[in-house]
Amino acid sequence: MFVLASIIDITERKQAELDAARHRNEMAHLSRVSTLGELSGSIAHELNLPLSSILSNAQAAQRFLANGHTDLAEVRAILNDIVSEDKRAAEVIHRLRQWLKKDEVHQHPVQMNDVVDDVLKLMRSDLVNQKITVDTELAPHLPTVTGDPVQLQQVLLNLLVNACDAMANCHRSERRLLIRTGFENRNGSSAVIVSVTDRGGSIPEEKMEQIFEPFFTTKEKGMGLGLSICRTIMTAHQGKLWATNNFDCGATFHFSLPIGASDKEVVMTNNGIANASS
């Protein structure tokens, strides 16, 4: 009887965990959809560039043929340009589909330096429009972590969007962002750390934790959900997310991901019942 009760208890707990994970993934997906609205100018621009290049190349080829030129080498070069610009547009669409897909969360080996590159590609035109310079200090030979690459991109992207917001009123020369990746080994456990440093305003010390609560915002059109979703994603990855103020100006947001965390995620007890360990 006791055994049965504890199995039911464990089954219920497992079900509650699954429900919570589904809920968390839906929130994360919704927030990606809403971020897309903010990035839409950027995406349109990224697609317009290859499309207008394809158009002008095709028109050049038409003019060529209309004028009776038969320089095949030139036509071949034009066609090569068209093919590579088309591939570039397809890559933008591929990135978008990855961003919007609503799959189960996939645990993959993730190289955080690649996550940084992918997010910078997604945001490139926005950063140019806002005249923000991004410096990167990416550690070479960074170990991989285990996680969902799209959700990890989402965390970084939210931090970057916030950092850009924080610098909206800064002078152009001050609009600089620094993204760092590194590796830490403390008390026998190792982690990859990513940080985003801006030169905007600082965060009042008493608000350092409050900013991670849902619906906390100081922006007129803010939703106040970005950081709380980031924190949920980091917790699900057994990682951490926190903020500090810089000595001179602005704030730095840091997140850390344990190395080798996937081994601990689910263990089988010797009576065969799956159990989550932390």
Ligand X SMILES: Nc1ncnc2c1ncn2[C@@H]1O[C@H](COP(=O)(O)OP(=O)(O)O)[C@@H](O)[C@H]1O
Residues in 132-171 at the binding interface with Mg ion, rule: CB under 5 A: 162
* Closest to 138 measured CA to CA, from 93, 196, 220, 92: 196
Q: How far apart are CA 176 and CA 162, in angstroms?
A: 13
Which CB sits closer to ligand X, 40 or 218? 218
Residue 49, classified by CB atoms within 10 Å of its CB into exposed (0-12), middle (13-18) or buried (19+), is middle
Residues in 182-201 at the binding interface with ligand X, rule: CB under 6 A: 198, 200-201
Considering only residues 217, 244, 246, 262, which one is a binding residue for ligand X as defined by CB under 6 A? 217
Convert 191-203 to b/e letters by CB count within 10 Å (16 or more is b).
bbbbbbbbbbeeb
Q: Taking the mean position of all CA atoms in its chain, how far away is CA 168? A: 21
Q: How far is the CB of 211 from ligand X (least distance, A)?
A: 4
Which CB sits closer to Mg ion, 191 or 253? 253
Mark the segment that binds ligand X (CB under 6 A) among 12-20, 38-46, 122-130, 225-233.
225-233
Q: How far is the CB of 217 from ligand X (least distance, A)?
A: 3
Q: How far is the CB of 215 from Mg ion (least distance, A)?
A: 12
Rg (CA), the chain: 23
87 contact, one of Mg ion, ligand X, none, CB 5-8 Å limit per kind? none
Local structure of 14: helix, strand or coil: helix
Using rule CB under 6 A, residue 155 touches ligand X: no
Q: What tokens appear for 101 in the block?
A: 């897909």
Q: Point out which residues bind Mg ion (CB under 5 A).
A: 162, 226
